[in-house]
Amino acid sequence: MPHLKTAMITALIGATALTASPVLAKDLRIALQSDADVLDPDQSRTFVGRIVYASMCDKLVDITPDLEIIPQLATSWTTSDDGTAITMQLREGVVFHDGTPFNAEAVAANIERSQTLDESRRKSELKSITSTEVTGEYEIVLNLAGPDATLMAQLADRAGMMVSPTAAAEAGADFGLNPVCSGAFSFAERVAQDKIVLTKFDDYWNADAINFDSVTFLPIPDTTVRLANLQSGDIDMLERLAATDLAQANADDGIVVDSAVSLGYQGITFNINNGERGDNPWGNDKRLRQALSYAIDREALNQVVFEGAFAPGNQPFPSTSPWYNQSFPVEARDIDKAKSLLAEAGFPDGLDLEVQVPNSTEPLAVMQVVQAMAAEAGINITLTSKEFATLLSDQSAGDYTASQIGWSGRVDPDGNNHQFVTTDGGINDSKFSDAKMDEVMNAARVAGSVEERKALYDEAIALMMDELNRVFLYHVNWIWAYNSSLKGFTPYPDGMIRLENVTWEE
Amino acid sequence: MLAFLLRRFLIAIPTIVIISIMVFALQQLLPGDPLLVLAGEERDPEVLEALREKYRLNDPIPVQYLAWVGNALQGDLGVSLRTNQPVTELMAEKLPVTIQLAVMSMIFALVIGIPAGILSAVKKGTATDYVANVVALSGLSIPNFWLGIMLILLVSVKWQLLPASGYVPLSEDFGQSIRTMLMPSFVLGTALAATLMRHTRSSMIGVLSADYVRTARAKGLAERVVILKHAFRNALTPIVTLTALLFGELVAGAVLTEQIFTIPGFGKLVVDAVFNRDYAVVQGIVLVTAIGFIFMNLFADAMYYVLNPRLRGH
């Protein structure tokens, strides 16, 4: 039957004598897994939105692939001895896409907007800044409530993106319909769920490093179709290739595959004390959670579900992260240990566990493998599959025992931990509370040196490995696939696509 | 006839009101808080409250509904919670896409379905009939997403004849626009063709055994004239209704096909809106498609008049 239909369509094409259109090398076409939300750095929340910003909106600072903070619009910065003021020198000669000059006043206006706009999602990220002082055309001082080791990493993401103060004042909350930043490409056009088009900004301060006239972002949700578009030459690059499509992409000479371990994690979050449902054996006894963790073979999970393309994990950071606590390597599976922990906790014959899981292919596959592994230790997992928005509100309301959920990850280690394990943490859906943990996590926020912070996080991880309100399973690998004519692409653990020094060579 | 259509239209108004109330109510029943989705991963309580205020989600539901109706009557369907774009603008963007897809699919469906139906009715019980039936059944049973992906892999990846997916507006590049839409409309069209073929067949078989057809044949009319002019015209009434309803369905959006071929039409818009709890968008689309359905029904009624002179006296 498909043959007949194929023959018919071929006949049709032949009849109209159509020719394939040439690919425009200078317009880079990038396929995204989903459509971005509102294009206002202060309001937006999607991962794909950040990929668009990477080409459109410069930030005060950027990161290296090794997560070091490097200059972008701020050229240098110093922190006062007491840690309560950061003085930044700003890049000169930078203009926004509308011609507004970039200077210290612009930075002050941006920080004020992030902190005060009703719709701003950046408020908590910049909470530590109490005021700004413009001390020169290109010098600004950020006054802080107290030392904040996490701030620079926030400024390397949306909170540090500079939008044109003129355009922002005019458009208010509607800024996202026609965003004006200072990045390498300026906003040209958006058709919801179809495309976002950016054109090269000729007055960009680093214009020499940009080799494309325009970039078009196309949301193509189906992974097979994304790859088919790349193979047919309709697009030049795609993000988040499915692990199951890796073999097909690798087999194609015209396609290059690159990857980087993400900053985030996937795992199972337990309800420890969030409402009545927290009062259950799994919430009350950490030995049960430890038993589950021992029952899981993380390497096998990665092989079975992701063909080995992801990274097995047992901590909030991947083992490649400088913050990973090397004293707790990914444990081998230990069924006996799991069984003895269950027995110790008073369940020698095993017990049931209900886990809610998002109703899409990958999380379900992961949990089915975990289910099978846990069953061998006597843990009978029931999976309740829920649509994501529902899962999230049930989790937030405490209407769950355990939840398969992940975190996209932050550059600073604080972002993967503080809000999940401290008593007042905003997304501590476990309602986990431990005085020692609070103390260590808060200290790590304000500690001055990297060594000091590392020691504190090591301590916190040790506590987490014992308590396991989150049982970590694996870390996603960002996988990009692109046309082999594209040269100079560097994978970053934040999953962004940076186009500086990327070229097209036929 | 005008009076008749006007009466039908007036009857449709309460239907539209009831639909809008139902959509509004159903959304409130959906589990999941739209703001948790909107607030982003961090879910800052302060942000949640500001958003709740802004989108008036703290108001009682009847108040929210009346506010929406008030604005809708003035042509303002609100803004998308997700992208801040006005809903009317979003729909104006999508409607031409969806209509183009619907029209092209319908052409495929009609061109394949009706001749096949007539042929299999005329040749009832012969090999031709069986083959046509098997083809129709396959058209119905092959899932759109599978056929879509197969076509993309063959036509776009292997032979590189057509763009794999996407959409180009007709006004921008006519040829490219048609080319991009060929595969998706073929996929949709074949499934519809099957339904049309089956209905044409049964309707034709009924008519072909009627007395007047025998009379026409007895008069010595050419078989072609008997079938197309006498029989088919009378068999057409149920097919017109079906076509109008199928077209209405197409306008409501072909979710799977749009997803596979990444066509930014109504189906994709509404599905994404439901997942993101983008209430304003869901309401707007359902309202517009409901009105579209009602108009297609009216159109079918009008067609009866044209096809069947006997109705004109009423």
* B179 contacts in chain A (CB < 8 Å): 18
Residue B47: what pLDDT? 80
Instruction: Give pLDDT, residue B196.
Output: 92
**Taking 60 as the threshold, does the pLDDT of residue A329 lie above it?**
yes
Q: CB–CB of B85 and A45 under 8 A? A: no
Nearest alpha-carbon partner for B196 in B108, B293, B114, B121 = B114
Cα separation, B252 vs A302, in Å, equals 41
CB contact (8 A) between residue B135 and residue A4: yes
Per-residue pLDDT tens over the stretch B145-201: 899 999 999 999 999 999 998 899 999 999 999 999 999 999 999 989 999 999 999
CA dist A485 and A237 (Å) reads 10
pLDDT band at A18 (very low <50, low <70, confident <90, very high): very low
The answer to whether the Cβ–Cβ distance between B38 and A5 falls below 8 Å is: no
Q: Where in chain A is the domain with CATH 3.40.190.10?
A: 28-33+183-262+478-504
DSSP single-letter state for residue A65: T
Interatomic CA distance for residues A216 and A198, integer angstroms? 6
Confidence bin at A24 (pLDDT 50/70/90): very low
- Res A432: pLDDT: 96
Mean pLDDT of B39-45: 78
Q: Is A381 strand, coil or helix? A: strand
Tell me the chain A residues in contact with residue B47 when contact means C-beta distances shorter than 8 Å. Answer: 119-121, 123-124
pLDDT at A2 over 60: no
The sign of the CA dihedral A449, A455, A458, A464 is negative
> Taking CB atoms and an 8 Å limit, are A9 and B186 in contact across chains?
yes
Q: How far apart are CA B187 and CA B115, in angstroms?
A: 18
| Alpha-carbon gap: B179 to the closest alpha carbon of chain A (Å) | 8
Which residue shows structure tokens 């692109």?
A482
Q: Angle, nearest 10°, between helix axes B2-29 and B61-73?
A: 140
The residue among B125 and A339 whose pLDDT is bigger is: A339
Substitution target from A12, A37, A175, A427 for chain B, most B beta carbons within 10 A: A37
DSSP-derived secondary structure for B103-121: HHHHHHHHHHHHHHHHHHH
Q: A419 and B36: CB-CB below 8 Å? A: no
pLDDT reading at A425 higher than 80: yes
Comparing CB atoms, the residue among A121, A125, A233 nearest residue B39 is: A121
Residue B216 one-letter amino acid: A
* Residue ranges, CATH 3.10.105.10, chain A: 265-475
Write the CB contacts of B125 (distance below 8 Å, at least 6 apart in sequence). Answer: none
The CATH number of the structural domain formed by A28-33+183-262+478-504 is 3.40.190.10
**Coil, strand, or helix at residue A261?**
strand
* Count of Cβ atoms closer than 10 Å to residue A343 Cβ: 15
Of B254, B260, B253, B250, nearest to B150 (Cα)? B260
User: How much is the pLDDT for B313?
Assistant: 58
Among B83, B88, B264, B269, smallest CA distance to B165 is for: B264
For residue A495, list chain B residues with Cβ-Cβ distance below 8 A.
none
What pLDDT does B312 receive? Answer: 65
- Interchain proximity A121–B47, CB inside 8 Å: yes
The pLDDT tens digits for A110-160 are 999 999 998 898 998 999 999 999 999 999 999 999 999 999 999 999 999
3-state secondary structure of A482: strand
CB environment A390-410: b (16+ within 10 A), e (fewer): bbbbbbeebbbbbbbbbbbbb
Helices B174-208 and B127-141: crossing angle in degrees, nearest 10, is: 130
Interval A13-41 mean pLDDT: 70
Contact A328, A314 (CB under 8 A): yes
- Name the amino acid, one letter, at A121: R
pLDDT band at residue B311 under the 50/70/90 scheme: low
DSSP 8-state assignment for residue A118: T
Closest Cα in chain B, distance from residue A138 (Å): 32
**pLDDT of A285-307, one tens digit each?**
999 999 999 999 999 999 999 99
Tokens linked to A37 = 């939300």
What is the rounded average pLDDT of the residues A163-189? Answer: 96
Chain A residues in contact with B166 by the CB 8 A cut-off are 194, 218, 220, 229, 234
- Give the mutation candidate from B147, B159, B262 for the A interface (greatest A CB count, under 10 A): B262
Domain A59-164 homologous superfamily, CATH: Dipeptide-binding Protein; Domain 1 (3.90.76.10)
Q: Are the C-beta atoms of B254 and A217 separated by less than 8 Å?
A: no
Nearest CA in chain B to A20: B161
Q: At residue A6, does pLDDT exceed 60?
A: no
Residues of chain A contacting B277 with CB distance shorter than 8 Å: 389
The token duo for A375 is: 């069953």
C-alpha distance from A349 to closest chain B C-alpha (Å): 36
What is the C-alpha to C-alpha distance for residues A152 and A288, in angstroms, rounded to an integer?
Answer: 39
List CB contacts (< 8 A) between A407 and chain B: 41
pTM (2 d.p.): 0.88
Mutate to test the interface with A, among B29, B36, B111 (most CBs of A within 10 A): B36
Q: Say if residue A8's pLDDT is above 80.
A: no
Q: Check: CATH 3.10.105.10 for A265-475?
A: yes
Give the containing element (helix H, strand E) for A30: strand A27-32
10 Å CB burial of residue A331 (0-12, 13-18, 19+) is middle
Count Cβ atoms within 10 A of the Cβ of residue A27 and give its class: 0-12 exposed, 13-18 middle, 19 or more buried: middle
B149 and A224 within 8 Å at the Cβ level: the answer is yes
Q: Mind listing the pLDDT tens digit for each residue in B121-153? A: 999 889 999 998 898 888 888 888 899 999 999
> pLDDT tens across A311-324, in order?
999 999 999 999 99
Would you state the structure tokens that stand for residue A253, as one six-digit string?
A: 């000479």
What ipTM describes this predicted complex?
A: 0.83
Looking at per-residue confidence, does B252 or A495 come out higher? A495
Contact A159, A57 (CB under 8 A): no
Which of A121, A221, A396 lies closest to B40 in CB terms? A121
Amino acid letter, B146: W
For chain A, report the end-to-end CA distance as a whole number of angstroms. 39
Candidates B37, B183, B261; nearest CB to A9: B183
Contact B84 A38 (CB under 8 A): yes
User: If you measure CA to CA, which chain B residue comes closest to A49?
Assistant: B83
A236-284: pLDDT as tens digits: 999 999 998 999 999 999 999 999 999 999 999 999 999 999 999 999 9
Instruction: For CATH 3.90.76.10, list the domain ranges present in chain A.
Output: 59-164
How confident is the model at residue B210, as a pLDDT? 87
Minimal C-alpha gap between B220 and chain A (Å): 37
Tokens of B166: 């996407």
Q: Quote the minimal CA–CA distance from B69 to chain A in Å.
A: 23
The pLDDT mean for chain B works out to 86
8 Å CB contact of A222 and B93: no
Record the tokens describing residue B229, joined without a space: 């002019």
- Minimal Cβ distance to A228: which of B36, B84, B152: B152
pLDDT tops 90 at residue A426: no
Which H or E element spans position A457? helix A450-467
Which candidate in B157, B188, B190 is best for mutational testing of the A interface (most A CBs within 10 A)? B157
Burial B241-272 (b: 16+ CB within 10 A, else e): bbbbebbbbbbbbbbbbbbbbbbbbbbbbbbb
Q: Which two tokens mark A121?
A: 């999602």
Q: Using one digit for the tens of pLDDT, what is the confidence trace for B54-80?
A: 888 888 888 888 988 899 889 898 888
Contacts of A4 in chain B (CB under 8 A): 135
DSSP reduced 3-state for A379: strand
In Å, how far is A265's CA from the nearest CA of chain B? 13
Measured between beta carbons, the chain B residues lying within 8 angstroms of A2 are 142, 147, 150
> Alpha carbon of A300 to those of A56, A103, A353, A406: distances in Å?
40, 53, 21, 19
- The beta strands (E) that lie in A151-271 are given as 185-191, 195-200, 214-219, 237-238, 255-261, 265-270
How many interchain CB pairs under 8 A, A with B? Answer: 181
* Nearest residue to A148 (alpha-carbon basis) of A494, A385, A418: A418
What are the chain B neighbours of A405 within 8 Å (beta carbons)? none
